[in-house]
Structure 1
């Protein structure tokens, strides 16, 4: 096999030295973040090939997953301070095909070892002696070109720790401060605290017992009993150790049956949350900026049953975000007065509702997904066609199941709302009595007609106001109209506008001020607000969109 031959050649060059010897009693594991509990802290992976996952893991709550490509073997490495003329043993537990473990820069003979196939956790072990002037070595793992992803956990570099007289080395971080309880539900408590300099992670304690390890400065502890008080503390961690625990705070869960969900406010900001990694900031639901009132989870997945959908959290792509944490974060957002809904469709969505059977399947499956994850409603973002008759049937059936608090939003393209005879517009009017908001996408469209029959180019205040006017004059209530724009230039192919253009357009529609050349014949103080794709692109851009648009929406009359 050519691949095996290439691998053997690589090992011959590297100089395998596998030993069964044990480290001396005084030796310690000097690898930093050896179990990847603090994400990729201290590790660097080539070509952004690495991430951390919650399954499979050998111990703790995380492990490394690295994915080779045809031109990159997904090497993940870290440089460790060592002592000269000293013996070291390097080991790690791995899963996958053609997984390598090695050390370079030893000052003597660099070493590596590998396994051609580890279908379950398998330990790799090698050893080396440092040279007379060696003060650091690089330890690494990698896979092989064009092979599947591999996993690594519990990396150990056993030997005497190095020291540099001019460098005090990494210090144990300070104790976290500012621990608060922002919100609770009947079975969860959300926590937040201040950042600690030098910390790579934090441990969360409930009644003195460690229950979570997180990388950020917030956490949601779930699986709690209703109407019960708990004490919480946090500590900070890095490669040097763990700080003392913070002062304790008390969190009391709500009574059973109290979900904490709220009603959409009169003026609301909607943001789409990406259940995938496309280069924008990877977020948990708990990371979504507080300015967002409606969080639309993008996207539900089509099934083999016509009209039916399901939802699959991309835990691996989101750095090991677990389903339980996702559900708890939804509850925490609801406790804070937000609505979290499931979006159906998107650019690549293939859900089709074009007869009574598929309408029934849609309603039943969306309701099942809402029940499973705790979503408040559904967003219709079908960009490949929509049948108003059967989508109306589906949404009315869903409303009967979910009740009066159901949140229904839509995100049609500009072409879909040019006329009340369009299927999207007809659907919106058909369910006007149960519709929350239509957040039309004012992007990726080029020039379009406004309500005065003049042509307007995207990217201007006139484009937003003159096209919103079509919906307002076509039968939708002001509270059912929102302005959808990208959060950054990378959020859409075209149509990005500075957030000030969005706020000027809202002022024009609500107050008759800050208009461009087009000015509506009347004002619409009840205009619902604005939407963006996406909270992730917004976060990557420093939350510039939500920081500007959010407070403006919430201050509308």
Structure 2
């Protein structure tokens, strides 16, 4: 969000520059290599083996070479066995570790490894055909990377490598596999069918989805999730899945199997069950497709509005902003009558009620670009919940928007929102407005918070502006100000745990409303069409449509008014046509 200072409306956030530089460097690196993401091989010849030596680092770093002194063998954490590789990138060293693997010419191999920690890459060079690589962003748990390559007519050895990113966090590697025809130099181990998963559990319910998790199984390359009637609903590489497309207020039972190139295990027992939420259980009564607009309690050269003058297209009006107090975690709100042409507190309270009577939701937004609210311990979490609830009772606000652009603590913000939900009840409207960088990885504090409160969350409206270049869910880098940037980044959220009904796209209402990233309202509508119907896409097209996508957000209703209401006049009617 852009707050108070007129200069901020044209200059953007200086704090974004390091992130843009990082994204630019990453873009250059990705452009220099070919990323190939493929499915796991389902069948293999009987003679196929893992050709990597010391693939689980049970013999330390034997057969492996790491740049400088960046790599070491560790005994914890490990995925299987007693060893794993830990490599720590430095400022000018990406912690590259390699092994020369013997292979057969004119043969296809599946290269895989399990990684954890910072950004991690896996690849093969010297293949004699097309060298390949794949990567993942930060991962709190073990995550499998997989790709395939074909050797050339005279190729008898390839270099398999892992590396991290310059100056980023250390990464871990375990259970490397170069699976294919025996090149004569591997460990000769043929895969065996894995055992069925244990510890299967169901949680994280929304109206239309349930989270299913289980304990990782040694030697498993993938997992299949089944409903208790035998219908396979998902295949994943990690030890969890979000099963979507379910009916509200309905109980479902699940079983999970483990699979690799040798075959599939039997299904887990017993059947585990979970129940989806009732209609309205985490939407707060907001329309299926909704538009959120931020109303400014200050004058920064945008059109000054009373709440009554907010355009009718907006379903959720976020009053910007509540301010930090001297009590850690606590917030307050005071109408800025002086900057709003003498708009009185009594008029404001009456306008809140009038908007609600017209079917709108009015919520209090906490934070903004200059917000300094800190919820870093149990006491401040309680202070936050109590103070926000007091504002809801005093002004009649329907809920709260979390727009903390200077960082948050997932553990304690989750505690605060849980306490607030207990006080406010199921009608609470809970929205968030993270910056793009905050929703790049589930390891980020904002993303973790959103996932932690899925059962009470209404919508996350990510700010797709003031961002520079960022990664999409396909591993490619996209620049802000395009339909691809919006759709490829939105895909990350719905494919990593949030229900489509909890996801919205946030764009500025005019060129003056943000430092960068403005797109015409027609581009906003194209992005909504692409995400919900797979039409009007750019070069990126999601693997599936998300017809339940909640909608769109803009900063701000005031800048919209300054631009002649072009944003709300275009996006408002269009969103009502979505499926």
Are positions 1:447 and 2:469 aligned together? Answer: yes
State how 1:190-209 maps to structure 2 within 5 Å: none
**Is residue 576 of structure 2 the alignment partner of residue 554 of structure 1?**
yes
1:425 corresponds to which of 447, 453, 463? 447
Q: Within 5 Å, which residues of 2 pair with 1:237-276?
A: 263-276=285-298
Q: 1-side partners of 2:532 and 2:408: how far apart?
A: 31
Match of 2:558 in 1: 536
Query: Alignment partner of 1:316: what SS?
Result: helix
Contact preservation (8 Å) 1:443, 1:485 = yes
In the alignment, which residue of structure 2 is the partner of 1:111?
none
Deviation at 1:553? 1.1
Higher relative contact order (CA 8 A, sep 6+): 2
The equivalent residue for 2:303 is 281
Per-residue Cα deviation, 1:362-419 (whole angstroms, up to 9, x for no partner): 0000000111111000000001110000000000100000010000000000000000
Q: 1:263 offset after TM fit, Å?
A: 1.8
Number of matched pairs: 297
Shift of residue 262 of structure 1? Answer: 8.0
Rounded Cα–Cα distance in structure 2 between residues aligned with 1:357 and 1:314: 29
CA shift, 1:283, in A, is: 0.3
TM-score normalized with structure 1 length = 0.53
Q: For 2:302 and 2:395, locate their aligned partners in 1 and report how far apart those are by CA, in whole Å.
A: 24
Aligned residue for 2:560, secondary structure, equals helix
Given the alignment, which residue of 482, 506, 509 partners 1:487? 509
Asked if structure 2 preserves the Cα contact closer than 8 Å seen for 1:511 and 1:523, the reply is yes
Question: What's the CA shift for 1:555?
Answer: 1.5
* Alpha-carbon separation, structure 2, partners of 1:408 and 1:347: 19
Q: Distance between the aligned counterparts of 1:512 and 1:385, measured in 2? A: 34
What is the correspondence of 1:31-110 to structure 2 with a 5 Å cutoff? none
TM-score (norm 2): 0.51
In structure 1, the partner of 2:460 is 438
Residue in structure 2 matching 1:504, options 518, 526, 534: 526
Matched, 1:377 2:377: no
Aligned to 2:496: 474
Corresponding residue of 1:298: 320
Instruction: Check whether the contact 1:262–1:338 (CA below 8 A) recurs between aligned residues.
Output: no
The match for 2:376 among 330, 333, 354 is 354
For residue 317 of structure 1, give the secondary structure of its aligned residue in structure 2: helix
Does 1:391 pair with 2:413?
yes
Note the C-alpha offset of 1:466: 0.1
2:364 to 329, 339, 342: 342
2:425 maps to which residue? 403
Please name the residue that 2:436 is paired with. 414
8 Å Cα contact 2:521-2:570 kept in structure 1: yes
RMSD: 1.0
Residues 459 and 495, structure 1, Cα contact 8 Å, conserved in 2: yes
Deviation, 1:554, is 1.7
Q: What CA deviation, in whole Å up to 9, does each residue of 1:124-175 have, x standing for no partner?
A: xxxxxxxxxxxxxxxxxxxxxxxxxxxxxxxxxxxxxxxxxxxxxxxxxxxx
> Which structure has the greater CA radius of gyration?
1
The equivalent residue for 1:333 is: 355
Kept in 2, the 8 Å contact 1:450–1:467? The answer is yes
2:532 and 2:339 map into 1 onto residues whose CA distance is 41
Counterpart of 2:241 in structure 1 is: none
Could you say what secondary structure the match of 1:300 adopts? strand
For residues 417 and 262 of structure 1, the distance between their equivalents in structure 2, rounded to whole angstroms, comes to: 23
- Displaced runs of 4 or more, over 2 A: none
Checking the alignment, whether the CA contact within 8 Å between 2:322 and 2:332 is kept in structure 1 is yes
The residue aligned with 1:318 is 340
The 2-side partners of 1:293 and 1:267 are apart by 9
Shift of 1:358: 0.1
**Where does structure 1 lack aligned partners over 5 or more consecutive residues?**
1-260
Confirm or deny: 8 A CA contact 1:263 1:337 kept in the other structure: no
